[in-house]
Amino acid sequence: MAVQISPSILSADFARLADEAARVEGIADWLHVDVMDYRFVPNLTLGLPVVESLLKATTTPLDCHLMIEEPDRWAPDYAEAGAASVTIHAEAARAAVRTLRAIRAAGARSGLALNPATPVELYEDLLPEIDMLLVMTVEPGFGGQRFLDIMLPKVSRARALIDKYGGEVWLQVDGGVSETTIERCAEAGADVFVAGNAVYGADDPAQAVRNLRSLAEKPHSTHA
Ligand code: DX5
Ligand code: ZN
């Protein structure tokens, strides 16, 4: 399991997104783009036009996290625009399998995100349709929230389900991931780490990515 770091631009300066992306280019594996619609979550960020501009402004692949209603209608457009990974929320999808397949058909990796109260066990049968499972470690909507330790058992259970399935499904954590929490996430079996405040709130975002990566890569006791 290779560790991957996905800095969230939610904590970056939205008026200077190209510069902010450049600060981690060549260092981060992904750039995490939080799309919010004031409906699925009580916050509003950006949509497809900004994603299209960002795609031209950086070589870092975009990891689009859609915190929106009607992802079935909108998600394939992000994949077609060139986002390398598109994640929809299980709670919002009406036809998750169809939408996950449409994301893949458009050439992107398909992701399925679960809010804190959504059990991972419900989605075991969907693992063949998913390239990345996202276990939220805060209630979605805002950056800089406190990491929910109570989600760690769910991360471990997600890891066990993925291992049992045996296919390649990445396990992402998002929310409150920092130098003080990332090791516990890695120990529980996560391999893709979103970090907003811990990267863009730091004086040196590139160094913050390196620090997070080395903490996640430290040998951990088994997560089994
Ligand atoms: C929250 C978003 C996160 C957010 C994480 O709803 O999905 O991606 O940017 O920010 P931090 O790392 O600051 O908790
Ligand atoms: Zn996110």
The pTM for the full model equals 0.98
Report the nearest atom of ligand 1 relative to the CA of 196.
12
| Count of other CB atoms within 10 angstroms of residue 57 | 16
Dump pLDDT digits (tens) for 186-213. 999 999 999 999 999 999 999 999 999 9
Report the nearest atom of ligand 1 relative to the CA of 145.
14
With CA atoms as reference, report the closest residue to 63 among 185, 217, 194: 194
174 catalytically annotated: yes
Q: Which residues line ligand 1 (CB under 6 A)?
A: 8, 10-11, 32, 34, 65, 138, 140-145, 174-177, 194-198
Dump pLDDT digits (tens) for 88-147. 999 999 999 999 999 999 999 999 999 999 999 999 999 999 999 999 999 999 999 999
